[in-house]
Structure 1
Amino acid sequence: MRKNYRKLSAFCLGAMLCATAFAAPDSNEAALGVMRGRIVDAQNQVLPGATVMIESLHTGVVSDVNGYYTLANLKPGTYIVKVTYVGYQPKTMKLTVQPDKTAVQDFVLTDGVELEGVEVKGAFHGQSRAINQQKNNFNLTNVVSADQVGKFPDSNIGDALKRINGINVQYDQGEARFGQVRGTSPDLSSVTINGNRIPSAEGDARNVQLDLIPADMIQTIEVNKVVTADMDGDAIGGSINLITKNTPYRQTFNVTAGTGYNWISDKLQLNLGATYGNRFFDNKLGLMAAVSYQNSPAGSDNTEFEYDLDDDGNVVLTDAEVRQYYVTRERQSYSLSLDYEFNPTQKIYFNGIYNRRNDWENRYRVSYKDLADGAGEMKTEIQTKAGSKDNRGARLELQQTMDFTLGGDHLLWDKLQTDWMVSYSRASEDRPDERYFTIKQKDMTIDMEDEGGRQPYAITPISVHDGDWEVDEFTNANEWIRENEWKAKVDFELPLASGLFGNSLKFGAKYTHKHKTKEVLCYDYKDGYEDIYGTDYTNYYTSQIRDGFMPGDQYKAMDFVSKDYLEQFNAKDWALLGGEQVLEESAGDYDATEQVTAAYLRFTQKLGRKFTVMAGLRMEYTDLETSGFNWNIDENGDESLDPTGKFKNNYISWLPSFLVKWDATDDLKVRASYTKTLARPKYSHLVANASYNTEESPVEITLGNPDLKPITSHNIDLSADYYFKSVGLVSAAVFYKRVKDYSVNLKRDMAYGNYAEAEVSQPLNAFDADLLGVELGFQRDFGFISPALRCVGFYGNYTYTHSNIVKSVFGDKDEQALPGSPEHMANASLYFDKWGLNVRLSYNFTSAFQDDEEYVEETALRRYYDATHYMDLNASYTWGKNTKYTFYVQANNLLNQPLRYYQGEKDRTMQVEYYGAKLNAGFKVNF
């Protein structure tokens, strides 16, 4: 392993030195010059994706996300430079390049009246920025600008992502949490900030929690559905790149204040935000700072059911639950961007963002257990989830992410573009003093109605004031999850030739060091509580299951132990009560270190005016070390928890890519590509741990798998985009993925070792699959129908995916679709924008798909994420000349779409959770 690492390091260093020597100026070569600057609009807002061309040389570039452009390797002389941007008037200037000097020229574009006299105003500015970036990117990309995000009622980045073609999101407590790209599970896509993949605060996942990041903290969202060799290869579905607010061209300052209402919590929300940016010291130092605060009391009404097969193979209801949630989410987000330009060709920068989400949750749960065991064999459990007084008597889930990056952009010897970056990222989750108090009544007969249907419910009257109740658990737990990442990379880009057959070489290296730990410490104080307090809890009942419980009025209010009672217990009480460690809760603890060393080469070749090809090869060497614990409970209930020791694994991934772009016309772009990508397994799946619960029958066995392979995919993409002069586009794309070694957490009944019957759960590389998809998109104002309709427009997209298992550990090929892959996704938005008034009605649909959290052999017991229909309405009115004032109102989830899972059959509910509609209103000032 060390030899391989040294070889890779030597290769990367050698490539850099050779390129530096190759790029060094030749004494016999005439001195060359550089042209550099920034593209902005009349309001001094930067314009990313602008085309900057010198027609006489057939040479051009595209401005970056901050509006900067660089034309290097130019012979001294005078050139006519033309800048074009959809929705703006083209601008032409005559510029002179002198030897060994940089000609600095910024371009200010004005709103244009293009073909058909369509004037670009209002909401179309945001679309224009996004469309230009999509149009001029070499790879297939969907872009959403901050202006566009502001036109939708989206509180976090996940909600904004669901508007993009080919994107589906999964929800938690009514907010988008994880993103799925092109019919793949969240684990198969990466989330990056300014190109840096960020770690996950989840203990059992690599995918990033999108609800941690407020939408108003991001300047641009880029979804790269085709990755190039200079990008990280772990992006089978795609790469979601969140670009933070970067330094401005001029002073900018804006503030936001708003409130909202949720019917479940019956409380008001609070939304605050501010952004300030400017340039100092003769424009050499740029600064942009932003802050966002959200406080959102909410909740949900929930019912859950579990089914199994009886001895005759019939599906029977085994457990049912009624849950009432009250949740308050508080988000804080801070970002800072700095850059310093020593001269036009030498710049350093710093980007930092910190996100913090406090999630206070109380849950009141009624559980009906062992419903298939027959009369007199059932039981009922009534549970309160709470926390300490310091945490408002609620379970606090504190999640934090941060990313701090220091980098530089340098043009060496007027031809070699050199970019470097070092960064530190961190994600964490803390759950301090999480408490569960459960009472139970055994030996019951519980009659249920609507078994196997949408809303089963108990018809047997049950009350905590009747019957023989006893304390079943009283636990206090602490959980800590930490993931730290250090990254360093360097990129070089060297133009080799110019003109109609110009080409360039880009190469570089990256090193990433990741360290993730999970630790849970839980104690049960049931015995001590009963000995000291007896039935004291019966004096602290509180009524829950609120009036208007959305799953139905057949679920009646019940009494639970009050959270106010449970919050009073402190360290002295725990010492008095004694307590026994719950080793099962610590069985999933682990420590993982992963190092990824990458190097790449990328060659770009123009083939005349219309064709460009890009070929690349990326190598990623992964070195992994994990350790965990083995948990055992014998027939007598005696437990043990023993360390596994350290396990190591390493592998090399070679990731080729080949892309072709055909500029059929100025407005029609056709792209085709082949790429290979990967997805590394979850850390928790790679731990070589084993848990044996022989007290149960059949024996319950949970295993890790340190030999789990990364998932790989061979991807073929073909797309065509036509861009209207009036700021809009129509697009179509076809994609195919051959996914190999798809891993699932497989749960099955089988003989294992010395056990004739066991219920075994283990992550395995279970499938190879084909995934085929089609994406269609359209956005345009209706001015082409009549000039009077320029203020009305439509934004819509549709994605179809079809997957087929071609190889399975079960041996059959006629299985179901790939887990985590919805067949249909669609977005539609109708908007009006005139006189400062913007109104938008939005609809989002995703069809049902099989969940990939846990996979079972029996098709009747498989878990499916049900279809979703979301409708949102928002409106804003903006007025003012120099200072802009905006009043906005938003209504989310007008259709009251619940989160719903079903088991096997569509009408057999497994979980349904309602959140109700949400209203927000506020005021924005842009100075």
Structure 2
Amino acid sequence: MGDFEMKRITTLLGAVSAVALVAGAAQAGEITGRVTEATGSVGLQGAIVRISETGQTVSTSRDGSFRLGNVPAGDFTLVVDYLGADAQTREVTLTSADAMVETNFVLGADVAVEDNILIIGQRGQLTSALNRQRAADGLISVLSADAVDRLPDENVAEAARRIAGINVLNDQGEGRFVSIRGIDPNLNTTTVNGVRLPSPEADNRQVPLDVIDSDVLSSIVISKSLTPDMPGDTIGGNIEIETLSGLDQDERLLQFRLRGIYADVVEEYGYRGSLTFADKFFNDRLGVALSISDQERSFGSENAEVDGTWNTDESVPFPEEFENRNYDITRERTSVVFNLDYDLSESTNVFLRTTYSDFTDQEYRNRIENKFEDPDYADALSSGNGAFFDASTGDEFEVDRDIKDRLEEQTIYAIAVGGETFAGPWTLD
């Protein structure tokens, strides 16, 4: 059999399999719906929806929606379980094998004062993060945007610092690289909306997360165990940066922030501002989200340190080299996120998600280095309590001064174009 005939048979078998899959999916029943809080305007991600009779289980997506496919005809009991609220049950009936039933759950809508109350807001975001962690296939930690807003984090690395098991490596007092469970950051991977980010530095593969401003985040998901959907070179773990989607909002979101910064060491002022917009159009089928953040701050440090070894041969120990250092740094960070999501049908959606971040670091370093050799301990000026250096008697004392001007600029951008469709028990994305 020739190669052409073999390829034709393989293609034919693939087409027949795809048709059979779609045809089989079309005959399967579906139960869809959405889980929201009491007002019906906030979707609850991470709620577990289960069919008691069959054991089928799914977790709600970022807008609170769920879909149970391949359900036969009959009467079933749906159970919704969400941390922070009482479980809800509901009876549903599929009259035929290809029937589709939609049912929505509102948690906390009819609670009395003495009952459990579902809390939204910052505490509710923490509960949502815990539900996502519980529903995940692997071991993850989730940090929501509201949790990030509680502290003035400068960037993604600073925000991730508060997650258990995370260690952050600093640069000039600001978080830069993330280590998961003590593993070298070079062994981690970083993704933005599912798109793998390469390192902007040529000599390593770790991604500096101080490039991305924390104000453009929707959430940070740290995966501490490996799952098949991660990039193939993930060894230590994965850092997923999620940005805002317009379809997640039931109402228009418009948010503006402006903050001032003052550094006492360099006596300079700085600023940090952000603008976020999200809304839905065309009968809530098109979601548009835009987030812009810009900041500039000047800061510095002054320190004295010993370089080299200490001379302990004489009565008064002294360092061979002593340095005074002064750093003046100006950092600028700009991040832009623009996302489009469109629902083609109830089972299919497409998206365009873009992220751009530019980071500039201007550093001036002034260093004075003092190098000592053997001092004269017998000199009267030492008074027996110190050492005296006198060039006229042969004591050597060298002073070096250098000024360093370093400009570092890094740019990260990611573009994701894709879609998702549901066909019975199958999800294609």
Give the TM-score taking structure 2 as reference length: 0.81
Q: Which residue of 2 aligns with 1:88?
A: 85
Q: Which residue of 2 aligns with 1:566?
A: none
Q: Shift of the alpha carbon at 1:77?
A: 4.6
SS at match of 2:126: helix
Q: Which residue of 2 aligns with 1:176?
A: 175
Q: Which residue of 2 aligns with 1:52?
A: 49
Q: Which residue of 1 aligns with 2:107?
A: 109
Alignment pair present for 1:230 and 2:229: yes
Q: Deviations over 1:391-445 (max 9, x none)?
A: xxxx432211111100110123x233111xxxxxxxxxxxxxxxxxxxxxxxxxx
Distance 2:191 2:343 in 1: 25
Alignment of 1:291-330 (within 5 A): 291-307=292-308, 319-330=321-332
Q: Which residue of 2 aligns with 1:23?
A: 21
Task: Call closer, same or farther: CA 1:366–1:147 in 2, change over 3 Å.
Answer: same
Q: Deviations over 1:316-358 (max 9, x none)?
A: 9554432211112121111112111111111111111111122
Unaligned runs of 5+ in 1: 1-12, 387-394, 420-927
Distance 1:294 1:30 in 2: 52
SS at match of 1:45: coil
Distance 2:420 2:398 in 1: 67
Q: Which residue of 2 aligns with 1:368?
A: 370
CA contact (8 A) 1:284 1:340 kept: yes
Distance 1:384 1:307 in 2: 20
Alignment pair present for 1:418 and 2:428: yes
CA contact (8 A) 1:246 1:288 kept: yes
Q: Shift of the alpha carbon at 1:308?
A: 6.2
Q: Which residue of 2 aligns with 1:203?
A: 202
Distance 1:382 1:16 in 2: 72
Alignment pair present for 1:381 and 2:377: no
The structure with the largest strand share of the pair is: 1
Q: Deviations over 1:473-525 (max 9, x none)?
A: xxxxxxxxxxxxxxxxxxxxxxxxxxxxxxxxxxxxxxxxxxxxxxxxxxxxx
Q: Shift of the alpha carbon at 1:112?
A: 8.4
Q: Shift of the alpha carbon at 1:190?
A: 1.9
Task: Call closer, same or farther: CA 1:280–1:319 in 2, change over 3 Å.
Answer: same
Alignment pair present for 1:249 and 2:249: yes
CA contact (8 A) 2:108 2:117 kept: no
Q: Which residue of 2 aligns with 1:277?
A: 278
Q: Deviations over 1:837-874 (max 9, x none)?
A: xxxxxxxxxxxxxxxxxxxxxxxxxxxxxxxxxxxxxx
Distance 1:396 1:154 in 2: 23
Q: Which residue of 2 aligns with 1:347?
A: 349
CA contact (8 A) 1:339 1:347 kept: yes
CA contact (8 A) 2:85 2:116 kept: no
Query: Aligned Cα RMSD in Å?
Result: 3.3
Q: Counterpart amino acid of 1:383? A: D
Q: Shift of the alpha carbon at 1:51?
A: 0.8
Task: Call closer, same or farther: CA 1:102–1:373 in 2, change over 3 Å.
Answer: farther
CA contact (8 A) 2:169 2:176 kept: yes
Q: Counterpart amino acid of 1:255? A: F
Task: Call closer, same or farther: CA 1:112–1:201 in 2, change over 3 Å.
Answer: farther
Q: Which residue of 2 aligns with 1:74?
A: 71
CA contact (8 A) 1:89 1:114 kept: no
What is the aligned length?
392
Distance 2:215 2:34 in 1: 24
Q: Which residue of 2 aligns with 1:917?
A: none
CA contact (8 A) 1:317 1:372 kept: no
Q: Which residue of 2 aligns with 1:548?
A: none
Give the TM-score taking structure 1 as reference length: 0.39
Task: Call closer, same or farther: CA 1:276–1:154 in 2, change over 3 Å.
Answer: same
Q: Which residue of 1 aligns with 2:60?
A: 63
Task: Call closer, same or farther: CA 1:365–1:411 in 2, change over 3 Å.
Answer: same
Task: Call closer, same or farther: CA 1:367–1:24 in 2, change over 3 Å.
Answer: same
Distance 2:69 2:178 in 1: 39
Q: Deviations over 1:85-131 (max 9, x none)?
A: 11234444454556556544444433786999554435321211111
Q: Counterpart amino acid of 2:281? A: F
Q: Deviations over 1:204-258 (max 9, x none)?
A: 2211111112222111111111111221243333212111112223222222122
Q: Which residue of 2 aligns with 1:124?
A: 123
Distance 1:378 1:403 in 2: 54
Unaligned runs of 5+ in 2: 1-10, 376-393
CA contact (8 A) 2:363 2:407 kept: yes
Q: Deviations over 1:765-800 (max 9, x none)?
A: xxxxxxxxxxxxxxxxxxxxxxxxxxxxxxxxxxxx
Q: Shift of the alpha carbon at 1:165?
A: 0.9
SS at match of 1:343: coil
Q: Deviations over 1:819-850 (max 9, x none)?
A: xxxxxxxxxxxxxxxxxxxxxxxxxxxxxxxx
Task: Call closer, same or farther: CA 1:280–1:365 in 2, change over 3 Å.
Answer: same
Distance 2:12 2:61 in 1: 29
Q: Which residue of 2 aligns with 1:35?
A: 31
Task: Call closer, same or farther: CA 1:184–1:411 in 2, change over 3 Å.
Answer: same
CA contact (8 A) 1:39 1:46 kept: yes
Task: Call closer, same or farther: CA 1:367–1:103 in 2, change over 3 Å.
Answer: farther
Sequence identity of aligned pairs in percent?
31
CA contact (8 A) 2:222 2:240 kept: yes
Q: Which residue of 1 aligns with 2:165?
A: 166
Distance 2:329 2:26 in 1: 69
Task: Call closer, same or farther: CA 1:296–1:106 in 2, change over 3 Å.
Answer: farther
Distance 2:354 2:159 in 1: 22
